[in-house]
Structure 1
Amino acid sequence: MTRRNAAIIFGGRSAEHDVSIMSARSVYESLDRKRYNPILVGIARDGKWWLQDHAKGFPVHVASTGSQIAFLPGAGGAALVHRRNEDYRIYHIDVVLPILHGPFGEDGVLQGVLETAQVPFVGCPVLASAICMDKQIAKRILRDAGLPIAQFLALTTREEVNFRFAQQTLHSPTLFVKPASLGSSIGVSKVHCESTFQAAVDLAFGYGSKVLVEAYVEGRELECAVLQDPERPTELLCSWPSEIIPNSQHAFFTYQAKSDAGGAITKAKADLDEALANRIQALSCETFKVMGCEALARVDFFMRSNGELLINEVNTLPSFTRSSMFPKMMKESGISYDVLVERLLEHAMKRYERAMASS
C-alpha cells in the first residue's frame, strides 16, 4: 500500500496558537503510519510557514528555522520548500489536516490557500469557515434562518456604546463582552457594573477590530458534535449532547477554567431526557446545514431552566486533543479518536474527488 503524505498544519498567528499545538500533537500521534506519512508544517506567530523536518517526534513549539514551505497554486498539492543557502525542493502533499484555531487558520484564510492549491483538506470550506468565525455574521445568519440566539450588539469602536445603553437594549443587567472572531474564551469578560465595562471592551478590542456585547443567559452550557458521512454528504451523525459545568471559582467557562485540571466538570453525555436530546441534535444538524458546514462542527448551546435553547456559536475546527469535547462526544457515539481522524481524512479526499469530477 502506498502511503499518502499528510501535512499537519499547526500553530498560527492567533491567540490560540498553543491550543493548536496541543490538538495537532494528538492528531499526529493517532495517524496510521501504515497509510500516512506525516509532514509537519508549523506556522510561527509572525505567520511564516516552517517545515518541522528536524523534529524528533512532535515539537513542543514551532521551530522558526530550517526550511520554509508554501503551496503552489493549482499544483494539486505540490509545495515549494526552501532552505536558506540551498536550492528549492518540491514536496507532494496528498491531504492536509489544518489543525489551527482562530483567525488565520479557522476563518477561511487557510482554507482559501488550500483550495487555490487544489489539495484535499480536512474541515469546512472557505465560506462556512469565515462566517462561523465571525460571531456577528454567524448570529445574523442564524437569526435570519429563524434559529434561536441570544440578543447581541456589535461594536466597531470603543466608544460606540455605553454600559447602560447596552443593558437597556439587551434587557440584561449582566453582559458578556467578547472578541467577534476568537475562541477558547480568550478576551471574554462577564460584566456586572459600569466601572468594568470599558476595560472589558478594551480587552476584547485587543484581539480584533470588532467586539460583541451579549445578554447574559442563565442556564446550562451544552454542546453537540456533528460529523458528515464521507460517502454520503447529506447524512450527518450528531452526538448525544455534552455539558460543561464551570467550577464555582470561575465566573464562567473562561480560558483559565479550560486550562485548569479542575476548572470545570465536563460530561461527555449530558443528563438529559431523550426527547430533549433529540431536539438539541435536530437543531445542531439544522445549524450545520444553514451555515454551510462540511466534515465536522461543534454547535454550542445555552439552555434556560424552562428548556428554551439558544445557539451560542458554531466551531468549525474545535479543540481536538483526546480529552477535548468533540472527540469525547464522538467516542460516546461509538467512534474512537483514531477512527475519527481516519474518517475526516477520508472525507477530505472523497470531497476532493467529487469536486474534480464535476469541474
Structure 2
Amino acid sequence: MTIPTVALVFGGGSIGHDMSIKYAQSVYDAVDKKRYSPILVGVARDGKWWLQENTKEFPLHVDFSGAQLIFFPGGGGKALVHRRNGDHRTCHVNVVFQISPYGGSEGLLETAQVPFVGSRGPASAICSDKQIIKRILRDAGLPIARSLVLLAPEEVKFQFAQEALCSESLFVKPASLHSSIGVSKVTCESEFQTAVDLAFSYDSKVIVEEYVHARELECAVLQEAERPSDLICSSPSEIIPIGEHAFFTSQAKVDGRGIVVKPKAELDESEADRVRALSREAFRVIGCEALARVDFLMRLNGELLINEVGTAPILSSSSMFSKMMEESGIPYKELIQRLLEDAIKRSERARAVRSRAGGLRARADRP
C-alpha cells in the first residue's frame, strides 16, 4: 500500500517566517515515517511555494533554486511541480500540515480541496482580526475586555480612551498580528502616541484595550476526529511575566526569558472547569475545527475574560499547546498523528457532503 504524502509547509511572507522554519523541524521529527512520507515545502517571502529537495539536513532557510509546487484548484491534492528549465511533472499530496504562527494558506488549500491540519471556513480569518473576534464573542454573550478600534493614528486621545474604557493604563495592539508583536502597555499621553504609531506601522487597524490586572491563562482544545462534537480541553496553563516584562511580550515569547510558565496552573477544580467550559464555547461559537488555543485573563476576583483565540497555535515540541496536551495525557508525537488523521477524516466528510449536494442539485435540475 502506498504511504500517504504529507506536505509540511513553512516560511511565508509574514513576520513569523523564521519562527515557522524553526518550528517545522520539530513537526518533521515527530511525523511517523512508517505511516506518512513527508515532503518539505518552503514558502518564500513573495508567497511562492518551493519544494525543498536537498533534505539531508533540515533547511535553515527557504531554498528557491529548485521546483515550485502549485496546487490545482479542486484537484484534491494534485499539484504541479514546475522547474525553471521547463521540466514539469505532477505529484499528489494527501494532507498538508501548515506550520506557521499565523496560518494564512487556508483559502488556497480549501480551493485545492486538499486535506489540511486546522480550521476550514471563516474561523481562521475571524481569529486573525481582533476586532471581529471580539464582536463575535461579545454578541455570543462571552466575556471580553473593553476596547476601541482606531482606523487612523489621530482618531483618539489618550484621556478619551482612558475614560471610555474606564482604565488608567491601556494596551495598544495591531488588529491582525499575534504573538504580542507591536503590542504596548501605556500609562501616559506620550507613550500612547508612540504605541499607536508603532501599531500602525504593522497594521491599518489598531485596537486600544483596557488594562486588566489579571493572571494570564491558556487552554488547549483538540477536536476528536471520529466525533467532531467532542472536544478535549487541557488543564489550563499559566504564564507569569517577571522582571522587566510588564506582560507576555513578543521578545519573551521568542527567548523564553522574563517569564515563568506553569503547564498546569494552580487553580481549584471549579476554576479550571470554568476555563474549559468557556474554551469549548469559544471554539464552537467561532466555528473552529481540529484545534485551537484559547487565552484568558483572570481578574483577582476570579472573573474570566477571553483574550484571544488562536486557530494556528505553535506546534513545536516545546510550545504551550503541546505541553498542555502532554499534561492531559497526549504526548507530542501522538498529537501530530491525531491532527493528520483528523485532517484526512474531515476532508472525507466534506467530500461526501459535496457529493450529496451535487446529486441533489442534479435531480433538482432535471425537467
Range of TM-score over shorter length: over 0.9
Task: Count the aligned residue pairs.
Answer: 354
The residue aligned with 1:41 is: 41
Cα deviation for residue 321 of structure 1 reads 1.1
Q: Does 1:210 align with 2:218?
A: no
1:120 aligned to 94, 115, 128, which one? 115
In 2, the alpha carbon distance for the partners of 1:51 and 1:206 equals 33
Alignment of 1:124-163 (within 5 A): 124-163=119-158
The residue aligned with 1:64 is: 64
Q: Does 1:195 align with 2:187?
A: no
Q: Which has the larger radius of gyration?
A: 2
1:62-85, CA deviations, whole angstroms, 9 ceiling, x for partnerless residues? 123211111110111011111111
The residue aligned with 1:253 is: 248
The residue aligned with 2:17 is: 17
Q: Does 1:342 align with 2:337?
A: yes
1:148-205, CA deviations, whole angstroms, 9 ceiling, x for partnerless residues? 0000111111111111111111111111111111111111111111012111111111
Cα deviation for residue 56 of structure 1 reads 2.2
Cα deviation for residue 252 of structure 1 reads 1.1
Q: Does 1:282 align with 2:273?
A: no
Letter in 1 for 2:32: D
Letter in 2 for 1:320: L
Cα deviation for residue 133 of structure 1 reads 0.9
Cα deviation for residue 259 of structure 1 reads 2.0
Alignment of 1:155-174 (within 5 A): 155-174=150-169
Alignment of 1:249-328 (within 5 A): 249-328=244-323
In 2, the alpha carbon distance for the partners of 1:324 and 1:100 equals 13
Q: Does 1:53 align with 2:53?
A: yes
In 2, the alpha carbon distance for the partners of 1:204 and 1:31 equals 37
Cα deviation for residue 101 of structure 1 reads 2.2
Aligned residues of 1:295 and 1:347 also touching (Cα < 8 A): yes
Letter in 1 for 2:156: V
Letter in 2 for 1:91: C
The residue aligned with 1:224 is: 219
Cα deviation for residue 126 of structure 1 reads 2.8
Question: What percent of counterpart residues are identical?
Answer: 65
Q: Secondary structure at the match of 1:281?
A: helix
In 1, the alpha carbon distance for the partners of 2:147 and 2:11 equals 31
Aligned residues of 1:256 and 1:263 also touching (Cα < 8 A): no
1:31-58, CA deviations, whole angstroms, 9 ceiling, x for partnerless residues? 0111111111111122221111123232
In 2, the alpha carbon distance for the partners of 1:55 and 1:94 equals 20
Letter in 2 for 1:136: Q
Q: Secondary structure at the match of 1:8?
A: strand
The residue aligned with 2:170 is: 175
TM-score by length of 1: 0.96
Cα deviation for residue 357 of structure 1 reads 1.3
Cα deviation for residue 249 of structure 1 reads 1.7
1:240-275, CA deviations, whole angstroms, 9 ceiling, x for partnerless residues? 000000122212111111122432110110000001
Aligned residues of 1:132 and 1:315 also touching (Cα < 8 A): yes
Aligned residues of 1:16 and 1:183 also touching (Cα < 8 A): no
Aligned residues of 1:2 and 1:35 also touching (Cα < 8 A): no
In 2, the alpha carbon distance for the partners of 1:277 and 1:283 equals 10
| Aligned residues: CA RMSD | 1.1
The residue aligned with 2:5 is: 5
In 2, the alpha carbon distance for the partners of 1:275 and 1:196 equals 39
User: Any runs of at least 4 consecutive aligned residues in structure 1 with deviations exceeding 6 A, and if so which?
Assistant: none
TM-score by length of 2: 0.94
After TM superposition, the structure 1 stretch with the greater mean CA deviation from structure 2, 196-205 or 139-148, is 196-205
- Segments of 5+ residues of structure 2 without an aligned counterpart are 355-367
Q: Secondary structure at the match of 1:227?
A: strand
Aligned residues of 1:226 and 1:237 also touching (Cα < 8 A): yes
Q: Does 1:244 align with 2:239?
A: yes
